[in-house]
Amino acid sequence: QVQLVESGGGSVQTGGSLTLSCAVSGFNLDYYTIGWFRQVPGKKPEGVSCMNSRRGSTYYAGFVKGRFTISRDTAQNTIYLQMNSLNPEDTAQYYCVGDGHYSCSGPMLPGYEYWGQGTQVTVSS
């Protein structure tokens, strides 16, 4: 049974940092594209970042490039999203995702097979 459990969300001030974690069970991170989406109420989920270790590919949305870093720990089967220089526009529910077919070759589509329950990030000015 596949399960993705996020943690690490919270409230920070503009310019602050947070690291989100996603503990994965049920599939091997080396063989899946993994990543992060975010969503604010009333809007569609937007892809933040993904990575595919077998293809050696990583993608960052333009609005986070240079500020966020995606990584994984295969021993812990955990995905991370290090977020720096946060601003109020980053306020959203953040979801980790996984899919065995997507290649992480460009902008992320919301059709990923597996989703976590989400963790809230709130950035105040």
Q: What would the pLDDT profile of 24-39 be if each residue is shown by its tens digit? A: 999 999 899 999 999 9
Mean pLDDT of the chain: 96
Phi, psi for residue 31 in degrees, rounded to 5: -115, 5
Tokens of 108: 């992320």
pLDDT score of 65: 82
What is the Cα–Cα distance from 30 to 51, expressed in whole angstroms? 10
Tokens of 81: 């999203």
In this prediction, the residues of the chain whose per-residue pLDDT falls under 70 are none
